[in-house]
């Protein structure tokens, strides 16, 4: 079936605006993750959803960042009042089964804050 | 906390050379270990994995063995190709992935 799908692939916005990034995981995958890839910080974990459990938000860098996962499928990552340091590639991954199964990544959304 | 250390790049090799990219980890417990690869302009792809000590992951001629004693998961390939040029990330996971900084491999003809 289809892999992890992310949209948009590129987003350019002005500082201070809000942005929403979307992730469509692989069908049937119960776990969904958001990561951020930037030059200065490498690959960083942001947030993790597993089934109906409360999400692990321990990687969110500030309260401007939030995420939802509706109906156990599609997820939206929202960044409010964007700052230039938010510029990065935002990656979504999904996983079946337990933590020793591999995560499968989407192609990411490249976010540029002017 | 949990962390992954991998060798600085870039690693520059000629085609058909032997490749080793070192990776060591620090973790409380026994995580699953992964190598991901990112080709130019593309997303992260799983290369191989190992879930317990002494497991050997292999794919596309690449291999890595989960060494509990040395907390290592070094990536090896006997004969690299130009098409292997990419950035390689070592990672550990209990639930979420913790990545190393990545190692860029450049293979010249």
Mean pLDDT over the full length of chain B: 95
Task: Collect all residues of chain B within an 8 Å Cβ-Cβ radius of residue A54.
Answer: none
pLDDT at A66: 97
Beta-carbon separation of A106 and B43 below 8 A: yes
Rounded Cα distance between A107 and A44, Å, is 16
Closest residue of A to B4, CA-based? A43
Span B10-17, average pLDDT: 97
A100 band by pLDDT with thresholds 50, 70 and 90:
confident
Shortest alpha-carbon distance between residue A89 and chain B (Å): 10
Span A76-97, average pLDDT: 95
Residue, of B35 and A53, whose pLDDT is higher? B35
Beta-carbon separation of A99 and B94 below 8 A: yes
Beta-carbon separation of B49 and A102 below 8 A: yes
Beta-carbon separation of A43 and B93 below 8 A: no
Rounded Cα distance between A104 and A106, Å, is 7
Residue A52 predicted with pLDDT over 90? no
User: Residue A103: which of B94, B97, B101 has the nearest Cβ?
Assistant: B97
Cβ–Cβ < 8 Å for B90, B100 = yes
If contacts are CB pairs under 8 Å, which of residues 54-83 in chain B contact chain A? none
pLDDT tens profile B15-51: 999 999 999 999 998 999 999 999 988 889 999 999 9
pLDDT at A56: 95
Q: Which of A2, A63, A56, A8 is nearest to A33 (CA)?
A: A56
Span B50-77, average pLDDT: 97
* Helix, coil or strand: residue B84: helix
């Amino acid at each position: 079936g289809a892999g992890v799908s992310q949209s948009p692939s590129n987003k350019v916005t002005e500082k201070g605006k809000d942005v929403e990034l979307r992730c469509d995981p692989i069908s049937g995958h119960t776990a969904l993750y958001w990561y951020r890839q930037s030059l200065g910080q490498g690959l960083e974990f942001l947030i993790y959803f597993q089934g109906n459990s409360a999400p692990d938000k321990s990687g969110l860098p500030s309260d401007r960042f939030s995420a939802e996962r509706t109906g156990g499928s599609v997820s939206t990552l929202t960044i409010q009042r964007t700052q230039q340091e938010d510029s990065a590639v935002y990656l979504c991954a999904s996983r079946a089964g337990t933590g020793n199964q591999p995560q499968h990544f989407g192609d990411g959304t490249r976010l540029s804050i002017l | 906390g949990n962390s992954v250390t991998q060798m600085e790049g870039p690693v520059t090799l000629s085609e058909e050379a032997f490749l080793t990219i070192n990776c060591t980890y620090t973790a409380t417990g026994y995580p699953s270990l992964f190598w991901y690869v990112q080709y130019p302009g593309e997303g992260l792809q799983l290369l191989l994995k190992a879930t317990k000590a002494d497991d050997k992951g292999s794919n596309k001629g690449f291999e890595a063995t989960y060494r509990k004693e040395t907390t290592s998961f070094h990536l090896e390939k006997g004969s690299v190709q130009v098409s292997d040029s990419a950035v390689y990330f070592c990672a550990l996971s209990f639930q979420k992935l913790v990545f190393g900084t990545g190692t860029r491999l450049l293979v010249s003809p």
